[in-house]
Amino acid sequence: MTESIIAAAGAWHDQDPDPETRAELNRLITDALGGHDRAVAELHSRFDSRLAFGTAGLRGELGAGCARMNRVLVTQAAAGFAMYLLEKSATAEKNGTDAGPNPAQPSIVIGYDGRKNSDVFARDTAEIMAGAGVRAVLLPEALPTPVLAFAVRHLGVSAGVMVTASHNPPRDNGYKVYLGGDSAGSQITAPMDSEIAAKISLVAASGPISDLPRSTDYEVAGGAVVRDYIAATSALSHYAGSDANTAEGPIPRSPLSVVYTAMHGVGWQTASRVFEQAGLPIPRSVAEQQNPDPDFPTVAFPNPEEPGAMDLSYALARTGADLIIANDPDADRLAVAIPDPTQVEGFRRLTGNEVGLLLGWRAAELNSRSDTPGGTLACTIVSSPGLGVIARAHGLNFVETLTGFKWVSRVPNLIFGYEEALGYLVNPDTIRDKDGISAAVMFLDLAQEYHDRGVSVSDLLDQISETYGHFASGQVSIRVTDLSIIDTIMARLRQSPPSSVGGIAVSRVEDLSAGLGGLPASDVLRYILEDGSRIMVRPSGTEPKLKIYIDTQSSIGSLAERRAHCRATLASLETEMRELTES
């Protein structure tokens, strides 16, 4: 068994063009041959399985081996995806269906962020695509994921690839895949993922990557793509470009004081240009986190949701700020914090649901003023049911989807969609993915308008709770080192579902593993409680976690009473769900 794993490592080493990962394998192979059990175990961890390609593409730790992110794996993925695109184009041409302006030659745009090896993986992809006969366009520099998602539709290409691990740990990288045509620039869904994965497996089994044709005959996009994204995104600002007019006359603008952090990612350069062109306040940027740095030196985990990640922005904001906005490292997510004297930091980060309800309410209000009102608000099944209440109050349709923007972005007649994990889609006419920069524009636009009227973001949250009912959400994350633990917990919950949680009877248990209410099958359990509370349990799609989402609501009594009721219910439900899943 040791001989076979060493042989697999040797074969991988021989085709690896990266001196760093070759050196990794050299050390491990030498130690394994010397009888070191730890080296043998490490080789097994790298070669006993393969990093799976799914609807989220690829994502994993950098390193040598087929269970890690590296140049060999990415090259195989690019070649397999090229094969998929060529076959789809050939079929479309044969059937006479629409496959773009040149169905005989599919096309792809490739972007990358500031993580380690993102630019290398992007160039490998461009060369492999060009070598296979796919027209490849490489974005000119490290840019936010939303620019790539925009470019897929804007350039009218067949597909897109973004090399990013978003908000994952520093040692991770990933490979997100988008499709044009009928998918209109959305991320892939099943069965596309399995079809692409099958092509990748064929490539991996066919021989070393040195046998694959490569070409440097790919295009590098000029600055027009970025400028067009900035123009389209800045145009979302409805208010901030001029003084507001009311029946009593114009309200002079009093610019918000805003702090921004890019979280060591690629957001600042693009976002600052968007804010300026939109006429929005230019934030003070957290200098230590402003420029891309793949080591993410000031944060333990580059995710605005994680404790401590926004500490530097809190420190800067305490010198005087009305608002903090943060993008994650690839700028497809948005976090917002507002002043709160009850917090040690002096600020409170809003939950993804609070931001989602504010932006959803804003979208509904703007839609009602438009020449063609109507459309759909959408969110994932683990996001707040409050969006449905807002939609119905404004005569709009409401749709719940499975988790992931690959589903939200495909909702027909969408005017706004969100997921509680800080993802927001505010401009579906130009982009079909979450976008932390366009969401920041919409949020700043809303905050600036009401700031000029003497109304704070906290006041707006109160207004929503008073008008539509108070909605509160909580989350429990169970991080594991062995993924089989998650399977065991899910199986136990299915076999022995609780009859009550936190002293509240469970009125209905819904298992989405066989599909439900038109939703595709998904490994999700949903508990509807007698008081209207809701609990969702599912494995994370991107991290080794079991995630539990809890939603409560109250429309009875004063705002203070509604909050107190929801707070007590959440605490009770969170405590018992943690006990149920950790025991």
Strand-pair category, 284-285 with 258-261: parallel
Question: What would the two tokens of residue 287 be?
Answer: 């200098």
Residue range 77-114, pLDDT digits in tens: 999 999 999 999 988 877 766 544 455 689 999 999 99
Token match 């006990």: residue?
Answer: 579
Distance between CA 116 and CA 507 in Å, rounded? 49
pLDDT mean across residues, the chain: 93
- We find that the CATH architecture of domain 352-434 is 3-Layer(aba) Sandwich (3.40)
Place of tokens 């809890």: 550
If you ran DSSP here, which 8-state letter would residue 325 be given? E
Q: What is the pLDDT of residue 95?
A: 76
- For 469-582, CATH number out of 3.90.1310.10, 1.10.3210.10, 3.30.310.50, 1.10.10.60 equals 3.30.310.50
Q: Which two tokens stand for residue 323?
A: 């608002």
What is the DSSP code (8-state) at residue 69? B
| pLDDT tens sequence across 532-558 | 999 999 998 767 889 999 999 999 999
For the chain, what's the residue count? Answer: 583
Across the range 4-24, mean pLDDT stands at 96
Q: Which two tokens stand for residue 581?
A: 């899943």
Please give the pLDDT value at position 101.
44
Q: What is the DSSP string of 274-290?
A: HHHHHTPPPPEE-GGGS
Three-class secondary structure of residue 436 per DSSP: helix
369-404 pLDDT per residue, tens:
888 899 999 999 999 999 999 999 999 999 999 988
* 415-431 residue pLDDT tens: 999 999 999 999 999 99
What is the domain class of 69-222 according to CATH? alpha beta
Neighbours of 376 (CB within 10 A): 17
Is-same-fold flag (352-434; 469-582)? Answer: no
Q: Is 166 a catalytic residue?
A: yes
Q: Which of 107, 118, 166, 383 is catalytic?
A: 166
Q: How far apart are CA 28 and CA 18, in angstroms?
A: 16
What angle (nearest 5°) sits at the alpha carbon of residue 90, between those of residues 84 and 92? Answer: 100
Structure tokens at 472: 């509160």
Spatial CA neighbour of 380 closest among 487, 473, 267, 262: 473
Q: Kindly list the domain boundaries of the chain, sorted by start residue.
A: 1-48, 69-222, 352-434, 469-582
Spatial CA neighbour of 69 closest among 137, 111, 122, 108? 122
The percentage of residues in the chain with a pLDDT greater than 90, rounded to a whole number, is 86
